[in-house]
Amino acid sequence: MTIMINEVSLSGGTIFEIRGTDDRTGVWCLGGGMAQMTGIGVLQRANMLVVKSVWLCLPPGEGWYPALGSEPAYIEFTYIYNPAEDVLQDDWGNIMSRVP
């Protein structure tokens, strides 16, 4: 999974555009195809980003998450930044680090 987080320039460091890709979707995209995510994040504390996003399954598993032909399902989650290790952790315990 790859996540890109970009600050919205006029927000004063409080609003972020979130984009992601997942090439290991398993069963939640038909056929295990790739998925793309688009979202917006709001900084709640110095190290907590609250995100609301949607996932779109790409061929062969086309359609919005959670099911082909469904309306988009908004997923809300939180990233917590750990500055000592320079990593993000989400609500599910996934830990993400920067790619050099």
For 33-57, write each residue's pLDDT tens digit.
788 999 999 999 889 999 999 888 8
User: What's the predicted TM-score (pTM) here?
Assistant: 0.78
In whole angstroms, give the CA distance from residue 43 to residue 63. Answer: 30
> How many domains, in total, are found in the chain?
1
Question: In the beta sheet, which residues pair with residue 43?
Answer: 49
**What range does the domain containing 70 cover?**
2-97
Residue 68 has pLDDT above 60, yes or no: no
What values do phi and psi take at 60, rounded to 5? -85, 0
Mean pLDDT estimate for the chain: 85
- Given a contact cutoff of 8 angstroms between Cβ atoms, the answer to whether 25 and 59 are in contact is no
| End-to-end CA, the chain | 15
